[in-house]
Amino acid sequence: MRPVAVVGIGKTAFGAFPDRDLRSLAVEAGNRCLEDANAQPSQVEAFYLGNFAGPSFVGQNHLAPYVAGAMGITGVPATRFEAACASSGAAFYHAVMAVAAGIHDTALVVGVEKMTSQPTPKVAEILAGAGDSTGEVRAGATFPALFAMIARRHMHQYGTTREHLAAVAVKNHANGAKNPLAHMRKVITLEQALNGKPVADPLTVYDCSLVSDGAAAVLIAPLDRAAEFAHRPLIQILGIAQISDHVALDTKDDITTFAAVRAAGEKAYKMAGLTPANIDLAEVHDCFTIAEIVATEDLGFAPKGQGGFFAAAGETSLSGSKPLNTSGGLKSKGHPVGATGVGQICDIVQQLRGDAGDRQVAKHSIGLAQNLGGSGATAVVSILGVVGA
Whether 215 and 199 map to the same domain: the answer is no
For residues 102 and 201, membership in a common domain is answered with: no
Q: pLDDT value at position 232?
A: 83
Give the pLDDT of residue 360. Answer: 98
Is 309 found in the same domain as 196? yes
Q: What is the pLDDT of residue 169?
A: 98
Of 228, 261, 287, the last residue of a domain is 228
Whether 66 and 177 share a structural domain: no
Distance CA 220, CA 212 (A): 26
Of 164, 196, 228, which one is at a domain's C-terminal end?
228
What is the three-class DSSP state of 182? Answer: coil
Q: How far apart are CA 99 and CA 76, in angstroms?
A: 14
Identify which of 283, 287, 324, 319 has the alpha carbon closest to the alpha carbon of residue 302: 324
Q: HSE, CB side, 13 Å, CA atoms: give it for residue 83.
A: 29
Query: Do 169 and 303 fall within a single domain?
Result: yes
Same-domain check for residues 290 and 269: yes
- Residue 246 annotated to the active site: no
The answer as to whether 150 is a domain residue is: yes
Element (H, E) at 241: strand 235-244
Apex CA 242: angle with CA 237 and CA 247, to 5°? 155
Type of residue found at 131:
G
pLDDT at 41: 98
**Which residue out of 33, 85, 208, 346 is catalytically annotated?**
85
pLDDT at 137: 82
Residue range(s) defining the domain that contains residue 48: 4-119+211-228
Burial bucket for residue 254 (CB in 10 Å: 0-12, 13-18, 19+):
exposed
Sign, CA torsion 204/249/281/160: positive
Residue 315's CB: how many other CB atoms inside 10 A? 19
Residues 217 and 190 in one domain: no
Same structural domain, 314 and 176: yes
Where is the domain boundary, 228, 261, 286?
Answer: 228
pTM score, two decimals? 0.97
Task: Write the CATH number for 175.
Answer: 3.40.47.10
Q: Residue 125: inside a domain, yes or no?
A: no
Catalytically annotated residue among 94, 154, 173, 335? 335
pLDDT at 49: 98
The gap between the terminal CA atoms of the chain, to the nearest Å, is 22
**pLDDT, averaged in runs of 10, over the chain (389 residues):** 97 97 98 97 98 96 98 98 98 98 98 95 92 87 94 98 98 98 97 96 96 98 93 94 95 96 98 98 98 98 98 98 98 98 98 97 97 97 94
Torsion of CA 133, 136, 140, 143, to 10 degrees: -90
Question: Are 24 and 60 in the same domain?
Answer: yes
Q: How many domains does the chain have?
A: 2
> By C-alpha distance, which of 85, 139, 116 is closest to 371?
85
How many residues are present in the chain? Answer: 389
Give the largest CA-CA distance in the chain. Answer: 56
pLDDT for res 304:
98
Residues 268, 347, single domain; the answer is yes
Side-chain-side CA neighbours of residue 286 (13 Å): 38
Q: Is residue 325 part of a domain?
A: yes
Residue type, 236: Q
Domain membership of residue 24 (yes or no) is: yes
Residue 334 lies in a domain: yes
Examine residue 370 and state whether it is found in any structural domain, yes or no.
yes
